[in-house]
Homo-oligomer: A and B are copies of this chain.
Amino acid sequence: MRRSRFLINTLKETPKEAVVVSHILMLRTCMIKQLASGIYTYMPLALRSLRKIENIIREELDAAGCQELLMPMVQPAELWSESGRWQAYGKELLRFEDRKDNGYCLGPTHEEVITDIARREIRSYRELPVNLYQIQSKFRDEIRPRFGLMRGREFIMKDAYSFDTDEQSCDESYWQMYEAYKRIFTRCGLTFRPVEADSGNIGGSYTHEFHVLAGSGEDEILSCSHCDYAANVERAELKTFEPAAMPDSVPTPEEVSTPAQKTIEAVAGFLGVKPEQCVKTLVYRAGDRIAAAALMGHRELNETTLRNEMGAAEIELVTDAATFQANGLAPGFMGPLDWPKDIPIYVDDEVMAQSSVVTAANKVDTHVKNVVPVAHFNPTKVLTLRAARAGDGCPRCGEGVYESYRGIEVGQVFKLGIKYSESMKAFYLDAEGNERPMVMGCYGIGVSRTMAAAIEQNHDKDGIIWPVQIAPFHVALLNLDIKDEEVVAACEAIESGLALHGVEVLVDDTANRPGPKFKDADLIGMPVQVKVGARSLKQGQVELKVRKTGERRSVALAEAVDEILADLKNLGWNSAPGQV
């Protein structure tokens, strides 16, 4: 492909509206153009990468026995009423009426449509399992679209739906998809983790999210250094501590004056102990109610756990003097010892495992030493309140420790169960002739989001560093002397030589000077760059550069094609589709 015939206008400056790196780089490389808030045109460069991601998905899902179909984007209200979601789904569901005043919506997801197909087409257990998928533009009317393709309104998604006779068979379908997803993201050249996740609004028995790891990711993930276990930080399990044994002789707590020492670090320093020996106590509000959480001084609270324990939709740290005063609490000097009986206090199991701690005395400028939690504390409940973090031991295998990553969710596998098949009457006849609801799973991949996540994970200050498998082109071939016939001939020879191997080349045949061509090639980020200039060509040489490593070398023109192929293979490229 000649760049002079390919629509890429690169930008030197960072566009004002973009804050995340994938958005910035996609705008700077002319990959996307905003049409309206959260609605983008995929320009030719972006579409080439999207198609590669889509094809990897197709090959892997077809190999896993899935069947591709294509459902409509415009869906009738009646169907959504059957599942109850016409009412239940929020404003993200864009509803409208056609010229005959019938209600419709733009599909944000397709459980209703696919369940309708299944109930019409599938009669017998002999026809199950079935797994159907599509790749399609979806629409969700996000209240605050942002970050370019990371949270758009119109976006490309792969959605798959499995139908099985029973729970066990559904689990098999689920894990097949789980494995297919691992192959898909591996083949995309991405570093990722499948993590256990909450089932969210859609309902269902269990679910994994697939996260592409990137420093800019919205979510923190903890992953075991030894086994496969990984989870969102809010959900990551922890080893629980057994309570300490009750000492034969319980020491008497000793009050000490700690004037104006309100933080754990200050108190520990003042008393010459470590934060790991101090207990900290936080007060949270849920509506009118308040409750306290106590944990060791070096840990953070897992707010999700406390929120669930308080049975609240939202909780908030109490910081206002009026609330403390109204409840007789001394901010900065609160502790489980002599805690007011009318305020619940939840204590982390790690606290109860200590033989002796320092805690605040519920009196201004006062702490207490020689406190034995099992003897002196009277918790409302003991549970694991602390947030998991890097370095904590993995409770699953008992061998590894957690490592922390930031992730971008690009896929999710979901065991739906019979939520839709019951409400929409998607029944089959089992071997005994009984009607049973099909057991469903659903499986999404954000295709456009995966492309954005690939850029979040693979870039440097100069631009994108495309994973070779999903790069729009494999090679950027820079013609540095477009009026020199020998240079033009050499470029054509390399391009056609590579084409024989299925290598896609973007030839920079513009009138730009070499400097801007180099900068553009780094910005656009094709895996291998080839520079062909008159001077080095006189010595029969062209220069190769691997974008990822920055490594450069001169090679003989006659060997350029082989050398480029070798570089691409080193980067993980395989010309044969279907082979990982």
Q: Which residues of A contact B (CB under 8 A)?
A: 5-7, 9, 30, 33, 35-36, 39-44, 47, 50, 65, 67-76, 79, 91, 94, 96-99, 102, 104, 106, 113, 116-117, 120-121, 130, 132, 136-137, 139, 141, 143, 153-154
Q: Which residues of B contact A97 (CB under 8 A)?
A: 96
Most buried by B among A7, A47, A97, A143: A7
A73: contacting residue among B42, B47, B154, CB under 8 A = B154
Cβ-closest chain B residue relative to A120: B33
Q: List 13 A-B contacts (CB under 8 A).
A: A6-B67, A7-B130, A36-B75, A41-B117, A43-B69, A47-B70, A72-B137, A73-B137, A73-B139, A74-B106, A94-B99, A98-B141, A137-B137
Inter-subunit contact B154/A72 (CB<8 Å): yes
Given contacts A72-B154, A73-B154, A141-B99, contact A67 B39 (CB under 8 A): no
Given contacts A94-B96, A96-B94, contact A71 B7 (CB under 8 A): no
Q: With A and B bound together, what is the CA distance between A50 and B136 in angstroms?
A: 14
Given contacts A7-B121, A116-B35, A117-B33, contact A41 B65 (CB under 8 A): no
Inter-subunit contact B41/A71 (CB<8 Å): yes
Cβ-closest chain B residue relative to A136: B137
Q: Which 3 residue pairs of A and B lie closest in terms of their CB atoms, listed nearest first? A: A96-B96, A42-B70, A44-B67
Within the complex, what minimum Cβ distance (angstroms) separates A75 from chain B? 7
Inter-subunit contact A30/B94 (CB<8 Å): no
Inter-subunit contact A73/B70 (CB<8 Å): no
Q: Which residues of B contact A137 (CB under 8 A)?
A: 72-73, 136-137
Q: Which residues of B contact A71 (CB under 8 A)?
A: 35, 41-42
Inter-subunit contact B132/A7 (CB<8 Å): yes
Q: With A and B bound together, what is the CA distance between A196 and B276 in angstroms?
A: 85
Inter-subunit contact B35/A76 (CB<8 Å): yes
Q: Which residues of B contact A121 (CB under 8 A)?
A: 7, 9, 30, 33
Cβ-closest chain B residue relative to A8: B121
Inter-subunit contact B73/A73 (CB<8 Å): yes
Q: Which residues of B contact A98 (CB under 8 A)?
A: 94, 141
Within the complex, what minimum Cβ distance (angstroms) separates A223 from chain B? 35
Q: With A and B bound together, what is the CA distance between A411 and B228 in angstroms?
A: 53
Q: With A and B bound together, what is the CA distance between A73 and B106 in angstroms?
A: 10
Q: Which residues of B contact A153 (CB under 8 A)?
A: 74
Q: Which residues of B contact A139 (CB under 8 A)?
A: 73-74
Inter-subunit contact B65/A42 (CB<8 Å): no
Inter-subunit contact A70/B96 (CB<8 Å): no
Cβ-closest chain B residue relative to A118: B7
Q: With A and B bound together, what is the CA distance between A154 and B98 in angstroms?
A: 12
Q: With A and B bound together, what is the CA distance between A40 and B75 in angstroms?
A: 10
Inter-subunit contact B106/A65 (CB<8 Å): no
Within the complex, what minimum Cβ distance (angstroms) separates A366 from chain B? 53
Inter-subunit contact B9/A39 (CB<8 Å): no
